[in-house]
Amino acid sequence: MAQFLAFLIYSSLVTLFSFLLVSGDQTNVHELSQATYIVQVQNDLKPSNYATVLDWYSSTLKSLKASTTTNFTISHTLLKTEEVDFLYLYTAVFQGFSAKLTRQQALELEKLPQILGVFQDQVRQLHTTRSPEFLGLVARTQPNGLLKESDWGSNVTIGVIDSGVWPERRSFHDKDLGPVPPHWRGECVAGDQFPKTLCNKKLIGARYYYSGHLAHFGDRKKLIKSARDDVGHGTHTASTAAGRRVENASFFGFARGVSHGIAPKARLAVYKACWEDGCSESDILAGIDDAVRDGVDVISISIGGQPTTYDDDVISIASFGATRSGIVVSASGGNSGPTLGTVSNVAPWMTTVGAGTLDRKFPAEVVLGDGTVLTGSSLYSGKPFPAGKTFPVIYAGNATDLERRPAANDSDYYSELCVPGWLDAELVKGKIVVCDVGVIPIPAKGVVVKEAGGVGVIVANVAPFGEGLIAEAFLTPGVWITESARDKVLSYTIVSENPRATMRFKGTKLGAKPAPMVSFFSSRGPNSVSPYLLKPDLIAPGVDILAAWPDYIPPTWLSEDPRRTQFNIISGTSMSCPHVSGISALLKGVHPDWTPAMIKSAMMTTAYMDDRDGKPMRDERNHRTATVWEAGAGHVDPEKAVDPGLVYDITVDDYVSFLCASNYSNQRIKVVTGKEVDCKKSKVMNTWELNYPAIVVPLSASGPSKLEVSVPRTVTCVSEGVRSYTVEITKPEGVTVRVVPEKMVFEKKGDKQSYVVKILADDHKRRGSSGTSEFGLLTWTDRKHRATSPLVVTWVN
C-alpha cells in the first residue's frame, strides 16, 4: 500500500512524470514481434577482414536475418547500411548499436562470443532566485569565493540529458562571455524550429534523439524534431545548473528577484532524449555517448527508474564510461520518498542527489469557521476570496456522485481523491472541497472541483507523507495542507453543524524555519543494490525552485491551464541534481586536475547535517532528526567544498575491485566496463573497502561476538604546505571504534596517507535488531579544514 501511495502522490506533486520504469514494447510478447534492443559488442574481437565495426555489425545482423523469419525494420533510422537499419551506433561510453529485433533474434545474438549484452530498450521518466544565496555562493547579490575563483564556471561545459531547451530565454544569453572552451568538439544540430543560429557562446551545443522514442511509441504524436524543449523540464534543469543572471524574475509575482543558475558562465550543451511520453534508454545512451565525444566536463541527468544491478542498468553502464573519461556524472536520486530503500541511480561512480528545502516558502492559510488557522502552501495568483467571507466546506469522500462515477473496486477511496466524474455537483456547488492527494496532479483537483461547481479546493496529505509540502500553481483558489492539518479540518467538518472556511494567500516568505530539511518526497537509502555503499550521496535544494520555462507550455502541464510564463516553480530531485551539476562545474573550474571522485568527495566531506539555527537537520515528513539514509552525507556546501583539505580518490581499477567484491562475474563486470577483467587478479576487498567518503559496515546483531570489521581508507591532501590532521570520532551506538593512526602529517599538496577504521560490537551494550542501523561520524581536522565521513553500522543476522 505504501508503495502504491508513493506512486500516487508523486504523480501529483512534482511533474507530469511518474518516475516508474516502463518496460519497452510490453505488448509485443510474440516471438516474431519486434522491439528495440540495445546491443553491447566487444569491438576488439572484430575480424580484420571488416574495414569498420559498422560493416561487422551489418554482416552479423544479415546472417542472423537469414536464419530467422523476420526482417529488421524500424519506423525511423539514423543509420542505414545496404540491408540493415540501425537506430544508433555507440562508440564512446558504450560500444555497440541499437536496432529493432524480434525476441528470437535477440536471443540468437546473445549466443555470439562478441556480444557482451542485449538489453531490451526501456522508457524512463524525468525524475533560481534563492538557491545561490542559500548555498552561500552569493551574499547580497555579490559573488563569494567559489564563483570568483572559477570565473563563474566559464571554462567548463555542462551536458544536460533532458527534454531540450528553449534557447530564446534570457537565461541563455551570451553577453560578455569569452571564447568557447578549446576542448569543445560538439556542434549545434539544426531541426524543427531550431536553426543553428540559436546556439551561441553560452548554449554551445544542441542535439536531439528520437529514434528509440518512435520505435517504442510510433508516430501517434507529432514531435518537434529538434533540441527545442516541448516539455519544460529540460529548460528548467539547464537554467538551474548554469542560467545567466536575469533581473526581476518571478512566477506571476512569486519568488521575485534576480535569477541565475549555479554556474552562470558555464557553457551548456543540451541533449534532448526525453519527450512527453518519457525517455527511451537507446536515446539516453546516444545522448551520453555524444556528450563524452563532444567534450563536456559534467553530465547532468535528472532521469531514473527502479534501482537495479549495475550490469542491467544502461545509465549506470554509460556513466561508468563517462567517469572513465574524467567526466563528473550528477544524477537525481528519485522522488519515491519517504519510503526507505527507494533511491535510484546508485552506482558508486555517479553522484546521487537527494532534495532539500530552501528557507523560502509560499504560505497560504485555511481559516476555519471556529477561528482555527492552518498554514499550507500555494502558488495561486488569481482573484482571492472576498475579505471576511466564508464558504461551506465538504470532504470529497462525502460528496460522491453514486450514479455518474466510473466503475471501481474502492469507491470511497477514489471519491476522496477528486478524480473526474466522482463528485456530486449538487453536494459540491458553492463549497470548498477537501480532497486527498493522489492519482491526478494537485492543480487538476482544483479543476475537477470547479467543474463540479465548487469554489475552492483544499488538498490534504495522507500517510505516509505527513508534514511535507511543496507549492502548486492552482488554477482555482487552492491550498495544499499537511496530514496533521487534514485531521483538524476533517474533525471540524464532523463536529460543526455548519462547517465553513476561507483561504488567505500570503505570497513569498523568506527566512522560513527550519531550513534546510530533507524533502518528504526525496528517495531514501539504504542502497538496495549495494547495501554497504551510501546513497544518496548528499542533498541539495530541490523544493519550489524558480527557473526558466518555455513558451506555450502551461506551468501545470494541464490543458485547462491558459497561463504562460518565462519562469516556473517546480520541485523534485530533478531540480536538486542540476544544483550539484553546477557546483561540480565550479569546482572543476577551480581544480581542473581533480577526478570525478575527488569532486564528489569534496562535496560529501564538507556537507552539513545542521539547519541554519545550528540544530540537527530534520526530515520534513515528521520533523524528526534526519539520518544519512535521508540526507546522505548532508546538505552540499559549495564554499567549503572548494577547499576540503583532504579528498578520497577512486580509480577505475578500484571500481572493478568493488564489482568483484559484489560477487559480479568477470562477464558481468565486462558488461559494465567494456573491458576484459579477472577478479582473481583484482585487489581482494569487501564492498565497504571501496575508498568512498562514507563508511557503512555490517555487524552481527546476535552476540556475543569479537569479530572486528576493518575499513581501510586513503586520503589525498589538496592544500598547500605541511598539514597535520587528527581524527575525531562520534561512534555509533553499541560499538567501539578505533582509528589507526590517529594522526596524519602531509608534507605537501598531493601527498597520500592511509588509515584503518576498526569497528567492534560492544558486548556490554544492547545491539539493534537485524536490519536496523546506528549512525556516527569520522572527521579529520587540521583546525582549518574538517573532512567528515558518515559512519554507519547496520546490524545483520
In 87-201, which residue ranges form alpha helices assigned H by DSSP?
103-110, 131-134, 145-149
* Identity of the amino acid at 54: L
**How far is 503 from 456, CA to CA, in rounded Å?**
9
| 588-625 confidence digits (pLDDT tens) | 999 999 999 999 999 999 999 999 999 999 999 999 99
CB 159 within 8 A of CB 294: yes
**Share above pLDDT 90 across residues of the chain, in percent, rounded to a whole number:** 78
In 144-280, which residue ranges form alpha helices assigned H by DSSP?
145-149, 211-217, 233-242
**Ranges 63-72, 542-551, 638-647: which has the least confidence:** 63-72
The pLDDT value recorded for residue 349 is: 98
Quote the strand ranges of 646-742, DSSP E.
Answer: 646-647, 695-700, 708-717, 723-730, 735-740
Place of cell 567528515: 788
**H-run or E-run covering 317:** helix 314-324
Q: Is the peptide bond before 464 cis (omega within 30 degrees of 0)?
A: yes
Phi/psi region, residue 776 (left: phi>0; alpha: psi -120 to 50; beta: rest), is: beta
Residue whose C-alpha is closest to residue 628's, from 794, 752, 746, 494? 794
CA 323 to chain CA centroid, Å, is 18
φ, ψ (nearest 5 deg) of residue 165: -155, 150
**Share above pLDDT 70 across residues of the chain, in percent, rounded to a whole number:** 89
The pLDDT value recorded for residue 681 is: 86
| 230-273 confidence digits (pLDDT tens) | 999 999 999 999 999 999 999 999 999 989 999 999 999 999 99
| 336-370 confidence digits (pLDDT tens) | 999 999 999 999 999 999 999 999 999 999 999 99
- Please say whether the structural domain 363-507 has been given the CATH code 3.50.30.30: yes
Residue whose C-alpha is closest to residue 161's, from 240, 23, 260, 270? 270
Res. 138: pLDDT tops 90: no
CA 147 to chain CA centroid, Å, is 24
Count Cα neighbours of 55 within 13 Å in the Cβ-side half-sphere: 7
User: Roughly how many angstroms between the first and final C-alpha of the chain, as a whole number?
Assistant: 27
C-alpha cell at 303: 532521469
| 568-593 confidence digits (pLDDT tens) | 999 999 999 999 999 999 999 999 99
**How far is 529 from 503, CA to CA, in rounded Å?**
46
CATH of 691-795, one of 3.40.50.150, 1.20.1250.20, 2.60.40.2310, 3.40.50.300: 2.60.40.2310
| 470-521 confidence digits (pLDDT tens) | 999 999 999 999 999 999 999 999 999 999 999 999 999 999 999 999 999 9
- CA distances in angstroms from 605 to 54, 537, 538, 711, 716, listed in the order given: 45, 10, 10, 17, 13
Count Cα neighbours of 569 within 13 Å in the Cβ-side half-sphere: 28
Q: Which residues contact 89 (CB under 8 A, 6 or more apart)?
A: 53, 54, 57, 79, 96, 97
CB-count burial class (<10 Å; 0-12, 13-18, 19+) for 1: exposed
Residue whose C-alpha is closest to residue 502's, from 444, 428, 432, 425? 432
CB 174 within 8 A of CB 601: no
**Ranges 27-41, 52-66, 511-525, 751-765: which has the least confidence:** 27-41
**How far is 247 from 264, CA to CA, in rounded Å?**
13
Domain topology for 35-66+83-120: Alpha-Beta Plaits (3.30.70)
Quote the strand ranges of 273-318, DSSP E.
Answer: 274-275, 278-280, 298-301, 303-304
| 363-372 confidence digits (pLDDT tens) | 999 999 999 9
CB 666 within 8 A of CB 698: no
Angle at 435 between CA 510 and CA 561, to 5 degrees: 70
Quote the strand ranges of 577-721, DSSP E.
Answer: 618-619, 646-647, 695-700, 708-717
| 158-204 confidence digits (pLDDT tens) | 999 999 999 999 999 999 999 999 999 999 999 999 999 999 999 99
* Identity of the amino acid at 211: S
Class of domain 131-359+516-642: alpha beta
φ, ψ (nearest 5 deg) of residue 487: -60, -40
Please list the residues that pair with 162 across neighbouring strands. Answer: 272
CATH code 3.40.50.200 region(s) in the chain: 131-359+516-642
Report the C-alpha dihedral over residues 11, 14, 17, 20, rounded to 10 degrees.
Answer: -70
Phi/psi region, residue 136 (left: phi>0; alpha: psi -120 to 50; beta: rest), is: left
**How far is 180 from 408, CA to CA, in rounded Å?**
58
pLDDT (mean) for 18-45: 61
Res. 706: pLDDT tops 80: no
The pLDDT value recorded for residue 31 is: 46
DSSP letter assigned to residue 581: H
pLDDT (mean) for 93-100: 92
CB-count burial class (<10 Å; 0-12, 13-18, 19+) for 256: middle
Res. 533: pLDDT tops 60: yes
Q: Name the pLDDT band for 212 (thresholds 50, 70, 90).
A: very high
**How far is 550 from 228, CA to CA, in rounded Å?**
9
Place of cell 545550528: 614
Res. 82: pLDDT tops 80: no
* Identity of the amino acid at 173: H
CB atoms within 10 A of CB 511: 9
C-alpha cell at 664: 559480479
- Rounded mean pLDDT of the chain? 89
CATH code 3.50.30.30 region(s) in the chain: 363-507
The pLDDT value recorded for residue 651 is: 96
Q: Name the pLDDT band for 705 (thresholds 50, 70, 90).
A: low
**How far is 371 from 365, CA to CA, in rounded Å?**
12
Q: Name the pLDDT band for 152 (thresholds 50, 70, 90).
A: confident
* Identity of the amino acid at 668: R
Q: Name the pLDDT band for 764 (thresholds 50, 70, 90).
A: low
**H-run or E-run covering 88:** strand 88-90
Q: Name the pLDDT band for 7 (thresholds 50, 70, 90).
A: very low
The pLDDT value recorded for residue 78 is: 44
**How far is 746 from 518, CA to CA, in rounded Å?**
36
The pLDDT value recorded for residue 413 is: 58
Place of cell 573491458: 675
3-state secondary structure at position 66: helix
User: Could you list the active site residues?
Assistant: 162, 233, 574
Q: What share of the chain is helix, strand, coil (3-state, %, to 5)?
A: 25, 30, 45
CB-count burial class (<10 Å; 0-12, 13-18, 19+) for 268: buried
Place of cell 500553481: 473
CB 647 within 8 A of CB 718: yes
Count Cα neighbours of 749 within 13 Å in the Cβ-side half-sphere: 10
Is pTM, for the whole model, over 0.85?
A: yes
Res. 278: pLDDT tops 80: yes
Indicate the pairing of strand 351-356 with strand 328-332. Answer: parallel
**How far is 244 from 14, CA to CA, in rounded Å?**
24
CB atoms within 10 A of CB 408: 12
CB-count burial class (<10 Å; 0-12, 13-18, 19+) for 134: buried
* Identity of the amino acid at 52: T
DSSP letter assigned to residue 480: E
**How far is 779 from 739, CA to CA, in rounded Å?**
11
pLDDT (mean) for 752-757: 98
CATH code 3.30.70 region(s) in the chain: 35-66+83-120
Residue whose C-alpha is closest to residue 204's, from 270, 151, 283, 264? 270
**How far is 489 from 493, CA to CA, in rounded Å?**
6
The pLDDT value recorded for residue 62 is: 86
Place of cell 540544530: 615
Give a three-class secondary structure readout of 455-522.
CEEEEECCCCCCCCCCCCCCCCCEEEECHHHHHHHHHHHHHCCCCEEEEEECCCEECCCCCCEECCCC
pLDDT (mean) for 87-114: 92
